[in-house]
Amino acid sequence: MAMTGVLRPGHVQIRVMDLEAGVHHYRDVLGLEEMGRDASGRVYLKAWDERDHHSIVLRKADSAGMDFFGFKVDSEATLNRLEADLKQYGLTTSRIPAGDLLETGERVRFEIPSGHQIELYAHKSFVGSDLGQKDPKPYSPKFDKGIAPMRLDHALLYGPNVDKVLEIFTKVLGFHLAEFVTLPDSDIKGALWLCCSNKAHDIAFVVHPEPGKLHHVSFYMESWDRVLRSADIMAANDVKVDIGPTRHGITRGGTIYAWDPSGNRFETFSGGNSSYPDMPPIEWSWEGLGEGGGLDVAARKMHETFLTVVT
């Protein structure tokens, strides 16, 4: 598909209660590369196959969770157009100056009805990868440093008003709905998997009474074998696992969910189906999410922690 408008997830700022414990987890256990620290003490990291300066920002705070999730757009013109469209829809936007995040241009931030801060930006410094842009090498030692995901893949966010969130993402930002779950005894869409690309999803939402909650940040692995390898690394480093290794019915991706030292859930994810805007979304019932294997194909059940533990 032609990639225009909103291109992909670009970064997430995660709150951690012990900064150095968080850095150890994301840099040494997960295997991300530390790219810098700013004057406020935030730490910037990237995965080995990411080409822009960073995708993960860690901020020391009194509580765990997510400050904001950002998407890269294809140009300044698109950034200006989408800001105008968001205002026309009725959302309040703010401009964050270039340089507020290291190596990042001006950002447009807005709060969606689920209580989450979303932002768009057009520029971030291109730093490349160890493989190179011309005649790339087949291997880098960073492939085997820690869990070593390829990239930030998506986030799942919990909050109210997901019907309004769906409208904003599809009618204003140009995403398409790939899959959804209806609430029990209802046709109301209570969980959404949304795409700006042809991946299985780029962001997802589940209805929840408390606004602005983070369920997980997901990192993409090259293969199911690499997901299984990550289970060994988690065990060796006493990382607490929530679910997996298993496979989802929704998206058909292989997965492990686990927690960082502050209690933020993260996912190692591989595979997954493809989704295109001309495809009708796949519908799941609430029963299908649990007993039908939508969440966990192996166990064929809902896990209480999946529905209740958020930051």
> Which residues are known to be catalytic?
154, 201, 216, 248, 257, 267
Spatial separation of the C-alpha atoms in residues 308 and 206, rounded to whole Å? 11
In the beta sheet, which residues pair with residue 109? 94, 119
Measure Cα distances from 57 to 35, 45, 49, 174 in Å: 10, 6, 17, 26
Report the amino acid identity of residue 187: D
- Number of helices (H) and strands (E), helices first, in the chain? 6, 17
Q: Are 157 and 114 in contact (CB under 8 A)?
A: yes
> For the chain, what is the radius of gyration of the CA atoms?
18
Q: Is the dihedral of CA 293, 296, 298, 304 positive or negative?
A: negative
Spatial separation of the C-alpha atoms in residues 84 and 93, rounded to whole Å? 9
